[in-house]
Every structure is written in C-alpha cells, then in structure tokens.
Amino acid sequence: MNPLRIDFYVLPDQSENGRALLACRVTDKAYSLGHTVYLFTASEAQAAMLDDLLWTFRQDSFIPHERYPLAGSEGSPVLIGTASPAEVEAQVLINFTLTFPDGFERFERVVELVDQQPEVLVKSRERFRQYRERDCAPETHRL
C-alpha cells in the first residue's frame, strides 16, 4: 500500500467560487503547517484567478506564493501553475484540474477538490478509481 495520502474534499453545492475558495483554504492550512504546495491548474486563466484569490480570500491571510514556471526565484512555499506536477518539487499537490495528475506519487499528499457540478463529479470519480488502481487508498471528506 502506498503511504501517500490522497484526500477528496467534496463540497455540498456548486457555488461559483466554491472550489477556488476551498483551494485557498487548503493551501492556507498546508502553508500554516509548514508544507510546500503546488496548486495545479488547467489553464493560465485559472492560475491567475487563484493567484489573485490567495491575496484576498481572507482578510488576514498572507500566503507567499508565485506562479510556476514564471516564478522569479525558487523557494516560494506555494507555487501555482499549469506545468505537470511531475516537474515540480513540493510536499502537497492540490489538483484544481479535472485530469489525473502525472507525477502525483512524488508528493506526500494529494488534495482533490470536488463540487456538485456534473462534469466535476464524473471526472473526480474517474480520478478516484485511477488512484485505487495504483494501490492508493483515497479518502473522501464531505464538507
């Protein structure tokens, strides 16, 4: 059994910014615990949106982060980008895409964000199966 931890966080609805706000909350928690994070996005537009949201999602939050690979220097604890997780060094992978992340096994923890949008649900079930096929034991947390 793979010691890697995989968590699916399932929101009860499909509010417009639900998954994005959840991504910020999970990033904040991981950062506050001293972990490095890669926030994997499907597009530059998603990366830009999460980049902006990390500054504003909570009034007192400060999460140092950079875009990857546009980052000026290595060393930011939180990276946001569209590059394959297989090329990024971090402890926690937050998958904001609907695809199965290449290189997921390099991380200590993988977080999958799910809401009730039909396409998101279908794709998350596929990823859940794919993790199990790779001898992982993903856990589901209903929020």
- Rounded-to-integer distance, Cα 134 and Cα 17, Å: 31
pLDDT tens sequence across 76-122: 899 999 999 999 999 999 999 999 999 999 999 999 999 999 999 99
Q: Cα(89)–Cα(31) distance, rounded to whole angstroms?
A: 15
pLDDT in tens, 9-37: 999 999 989 999 999 999 999 999 999 99
This prediction's pTM: 0.94
User: In one letter, which amino acid is 94?
Assistant: I
Q: Where do the H-state alpha helices sit in 17-106?
A: 18-32, 44-56
Q: Over the stretch 39-60, which tens digit does the pLDDT of each residue have?
A: 999 999 999 999 999 998 988 8
Domains and CATH numbers, the chain: 5-142 (3.40.50.10110)
How sure is the predictor about 72, in pLDDT bands with cuts at 50, 70 and 90? low
